[in-house]
Each structure stands twice: as C-alpha cells, then as structure tokens.
Amino acid sequence: MFMPVNNSAWISFLRQYGPIPKNDAMYDESIQRMFKKKRIKPINIESLYLPDLIENFKSSESKSVILTGTAGDGKTYHCRAVWSALNGSPIEWDDASKVKHLQLGQTTLHIIKDLSELSQNGSDDIEHFVKFCDSLLEPNSKDVFLIAANDGQLLDALRQVASTESLLLVKEFIEELLVSGKVEIENFRLKMYNLSRISAQWAFPRIVQNLFEHEGWIECDTCSFKDNDSLSQRCPIWENKRRLEGEYNNHNIHSRLVDLLTLCEVNGFHVPIRQLLLLVSNMILGHPAARDNIMNCKDIPKILGQQTISDGSIYRNIFGENLSERRRESRDIFSMLGRFGIGNESTNKIDNILIFGADDPELNSLYEKLVLEDSYYGADPRYRAQQKAYLEGTTEDEGKEFLSQVRSQRQRLFFEIPDSDSDELKLWNLTTFQYAGEFLNDVYRVALIDGKVSSHITSRLVRGLNRIFTGLLTKTQEELFLATSGSNSQAKVSKFFEASISVPRKRGESVSVIRSGAETALLQVSLSNSPNVPPIHLELNLIRYEFLCRVADGALPGSFSKECYEDILAFKSRILTQLQKRRIDEYEDEASNTNLTFQIIKLTTDGMLERKTVEVNI
C-alpha cells in the first residue's frame, strides 16, 4: 500500500520547461505567467551580456543595441531584464504595446522586444524602426533603442526602410556587424550582440547549478518516496535529479553530456538556451506513461505500482525516448543528440557484458561493476527477468522487449562507464562517431588553448588526405602528396605527381592543426615562407575528422560521406592553386627545357607512394 505523495508546485512548474504543447513564440511570456500564478522563482542563469547592456543604457554616452540570435536564445528575456533593471513598470511591460518607452534622465529608451511584431505594410509601426535608423546617425540624439530580432527579420526591415542615402549607410553598417561578428563599429552609435554565440558548454553547467540550488526542491523533503530505502518505492524524479547532480556517479552524466553538446556546436548545430532548459526538464521528468510524457508528483504511485521505473530513466530521457518519434524529431535538441546513434551503436564486448555477463567468468567482474551495481536503472528485476527468459529461449516476443532494454542499457553505459575504463571498453564506439572523443579532447580542446596536437594524429590525417588526393590505398603519412589525373584535380584516381609537402616543418612546408579566431580547429597546409603564398586551411568539424580517420583506416571515401569527399577534393584544388602561386613566386622557368618530363605516382608493395620519372623528347 502506497503512502501519500506530495503535490509539489515546483515540479508542476518545472514541467513547463519540458516538451509539452505550448506556443513557442510566447515562451518567455508563458513562463512568466506560470511564475506569477504559482509564485515560484523561474530558472534564471547569469547572463553573459546583461551587465554590459545595463551599464550601456545607464551611461551618458549610451548606444542603441540590437540583440540577434535564433529562437530560444533569450532575446525577449534580455529585453525584459533590462527593462526591470532600469526600474521599468511590470504593468507597462505586460500591456499590449509593441514598443516600450522608458525615460532615462534626458534620454528615452525604446524597446522593441520582437521586431517581427511591427507591421510590414508601411503603417506607423514601422516608423519606429525608421526613427531608430535615423538616431544612429545623429550624434546628439536623445533616443536609444533596444531591438530584438533574428537576422532575417532585421534584414527584411532594413530592406523596407533603406530608401535614402543615410538609411542605406545604416543598412551597410548593420550588415557589416552581422557578417563580421563584431559588437560595434567605431563612430557608429550601435552595439550588436549575437546571443547565438553563447555556447552550450558555457550555459548548460549554469542551468544545472541554478536548477539544483532552487528552493523548490525543499518541497520534496517531506515526500515518502524521496530516497526511499526500498528501490521499488523510490521516486524516479528524485533519482534522476540525484544522478544529474553527480551524487551517484561523480558527475559522469554531466561531463559526458557537455561533451555531446560541445560536439554538436563544433559540428555547426547551435543549441539555444530554451532547448537546454527543455533537455534538463525532460531528463528529470520524462516518462512515456505520464501526461504529455512528463511526470508530475501524482504520477509516481502509478509508475511504482506498474514497475515501469526504468522507462523514466534519465539515460533514456536525454535522447527523448519518453516521447513519440514524431515529437522527438520535432525538438531540435533530441534530433541533434539522436545523430550520435547512442543505443543503436555498440561493440561485441559491451553487448556480451549486457547479455551474457552474468554467466561468463571472463566478463562477470565487468557485469557486476557496470550492471549489477546499478540496481535501480541497471539490473533491476524487470531486466533480470527478461534476460533470463531471453537466454533460456522462453520469451513470448522473440526477445524484442529484452533487446529494447539492452538498447537502453547501452545508453546508460555511455554515461556510466568510468573514464578509467573508457579506452578498454571503447566508449565512443557506442556512438556513430568512433573518433569523437579523440577529436574533442586531443584535437579541438588542445587547439583552443594553442597547444600542439599529437604528431600521431596529424600523420593519420595526412594518410587520409593522401588516400583521397591520389585515390590509392597508401600508407604514406610523412609527406602530403599532390597529384592530378593530368587534366582534372577532382578525379577519383590521380597519378600525375605535382608536388609533395613535408608534414614536419621544413623550408616553409608543414602540415599542422591550429586554432582559428572563431574558436574552431583548422588543418593548416603551408607551402612556403613567402607572404605571397599564405597557408591553406580546412575547418575540422567532427564529421570531417571522422571521415579522414575512417579513410586512413581503410574505408572507401565515397562510402562514408559524399559531402565530405567533395569538401576534401575542393581543399585539394585550393592547395594546387597555392602551389601554382609558389611556382610563380620561385620563378620556376621550364621554357628552356628541351624535354617534357613528368612523374607518375605508384604504390610500392608495402603501400608507400613512390615517384617514377617519365621523359618525352620534343
């Protein structure tokens, strides 16, 4: 018989951040309404730019500000926070006016919290934007603006109003800020902050910290299901919270999730603050049997009674497994994390541990450590019963339910395998990207601190490039070979030797991995010390790195990624263009030759590239 359960207002409020049906265009407003209704403090993290915004508008030489970014980056939140910090009236903020006005001494601040709300049909509303553009060119203007808009909305508004020479100049300056990523231009009364530049690696730990420090968790202290000694009556909400907090696993979930989010962003997928809040809420509250697939306190007795605790596992919820496939794919964060294939990918050793580890003496110690020790989400009674039936061949569904549980266990193990065992158990083989861990820790993060990437890694990348550049299964990795088919540098097989570039630095030649100013890792090929022949760069994202490493290990280029293959061939063409510049710079003169000489590349028996000279008499 179950004891009474708390009905926590905080848990009900936390659900609002999750993947429940709501109007995303009014996200900030809906959270604020819930906050006022339930009188619960929302999850707020320190803002990267808010102190600068407030200081700017308090200054006697304040500038107008544009906040850009994708939906969910916090543009409306920043506008409201600035309004509140400058003593704006909460009642005025909540009224229906599209533009808010606030007197700051002799200056008037105008806040347009959503540029798309202004009419685009030439009515009076768009005149506010015209007034904003005019104020940027008036040194003594008493009007400053704070405007929230994504790039497309901003450019559309600029195109609509840019009818005079001065407004065209404003349009040109704003476009320069958008393209360059600069905050401001000298002698131009405008600052631009791109909230999409706030990385998940910076924001996620702060969201988690704010979540766990929230006073609302005090309501759980009197709940009979919190940390109940009987695992069958322990609240999965509290258990998920405890695991994310790091109390159970020394912050493994936290650190591995930061790794995945960082890889998403390095690969070009920005993760907005709103999506991070959705992820954290779903991690703690997700369960397929709950209303909207998000648990509330009143759901706990039913879930415990039906023994479906593991369906609400934090490890499944990270990937949105509590949601239907359609709803999961409609949420960007789950779509991004799902591309890692965690749960679908595995190794023979991992699967043998999960399926046969209980009876295999060689695997039994790992089975106890990785499965049995976690009796809540690991070897719970449901898993052990299905495992036994599967091994004995007595399942009624041909083992489908058990194999589904094995899939969930792979997801759990990705976040639970200790760092000390990650190499032995090939942790990243549980993902689609086997080289993701190496790329993140030994390439990307090393490059960002201007460290030296291992020569072993550089050599492997060069081996992959050589196989693509020549179309031959070579092992050569100390030199980068440039070859063509005689007429086409994009040919699949190129045997006409053009040049070789030393990988270790030698007479201006080198191949290395460096940091770019945009905080990405670049593969740099240098052909000369001459300033007339600058180095060529290839941005290394996760997919390109995996592609080059897989090709270096023997995969056929076209079988992994056609897009990557074409990217590398385009990189080769750029290097050949620089090679031609080097030849001109070095005054190579072949006009006096009486013979036509060229070199053919071929493979030796041990897989190394060698050159054979062919001479044709003229």
Q: List, for residues 309-333, the tens digit of each pLDDT value.
A: 999 999 999 999 999 999 999 999 9
Tell me phi and psi for residue 579, to 5 degrees: -60, -40
Residue 25: pLDDT over 60: no
Report H helices in 449-561: 455-470, 542-552, 557-560
For residues 64 and 112, the answer to whether their CB atoms sit within 8 Å is: no
DSSP 96: S
Of the candidates 15, 9, 18, 13, the one whose C-alpha atom is nearest the C-alpha of residue 277 is 18
Residue 126: pLDDT over 90: no
Q: Which two tokens stand for residue 140?
A: 């003594």
DSSP 558: H
For residues 352 and 360, the answer to whether their CB atoms sit within 8 Å is: yes
For residues 408 and 310, the answer to whether their CB atoms sit within 8 Å is: yes
Cα 48 to chain centroid distance, Å, stands at 18
State the pLDDT at residue 21. 78
Token pair 């809906």 is at which residue?
30
Please give the torsion angle defined by the CA atoms of residues 90, 96, 102 and 107, in that order, rounded to the nearest 10 degrees: 160
Rounded CA-CA distance 429/436 in Å is 9
Rounded CA-CA distance 68/612 in Å is 57
pLDDT tens string 375-391: 999 999 899 999 999 99
Rounded CA-CA distance 271/204 in Å is 10
Q: How many CA atoms lie within 13 A of 39 on its CB side?
A: 0
State the pLDDT at residue 229. 85
Rounded CA-CA distance 341/249 in Å is 23
Rounded CA-CA distance 504/190 in Å is 46
Token pair 């009486």 is at which residue?
594
Token pair 């995303």 is at which residue?
24
Q: Which two tokens stand for residue 143?
A: 């009007």
Rounded CA-CA distance 13/40 in Å is 8
235-244, 259-268, 606-615: least confident range: 606-615
For residues 58 and 76, the answer to whether their CB atoms sit within 8 Å is: no
Residue 425: pLDDT over 80: yes
Residue 588: pLDDT over 60: no
State the pLDDT at residue 518. 66
DSSP string, 219-231: GGGG-TTTT-SSG
Q: Where residue 5 falls among pLDDT bands split at 50, 70, 90?
A: low
- Beta strands 100-104 and 107-112: pairing type? antiparallel
For residues 128 and 119, the answer to whether their CB atoms sit within 8 Å is: no
3-state helix, strand, coil in the chain (%, to 5): 50, 15, 35
Rounded CA-CA distance 67/97 in Å is 19
Residue 2: pLDDT over 50: no
pLDDT tens string 240-255: 999 999 877 778 899 9
Q: Where residue 539 falls among pLDDT bands split at 50, 70, 90?
A: very high
pLDDT tens string 168-194: 888 999 999 998 889 999 889 999 999
Give per-residue burial for 316-355: e unless 16+ CB within 10 Å, then b: bbbbbbbbeeeebeebbbbebbbbbebbebbeeebebbbb
Rounded CA-CA distance 69/62 in Å is 22
Cα 232 to chain centroid distance, Å, stands at 36
Tell me phi and psi for residue 36, to 5 degrees: -75, -35
pLDDT tens string 498-513: 999 999 999 999 999 9
| Distances 227 to 220, 223, 235, 254, 301 between C-alpha atoms, Å | 10, 9, 7, 21, 14
pLDDT tens string 444-498: 999 999 889 999 999 999 999 999 999 999 999 999 999 998 766 567 888 899 9
26-30, 172-176, 222-226, 359-363: least confident range: 26-30
Helix, strand or coil for residue 512?
A: strand
For residues 482 and 500, the answer to whether their CB atoms sit within 8 Å is: yes
Residue 119: pLDDT over 60: no
Q: What is the pTM of this model?
A: 0.91
Q: How many CB atoms lie within 10 A of CB 447?
A: 21
pLDDT tens string 36-54: 777 888 888 888 899 999 9
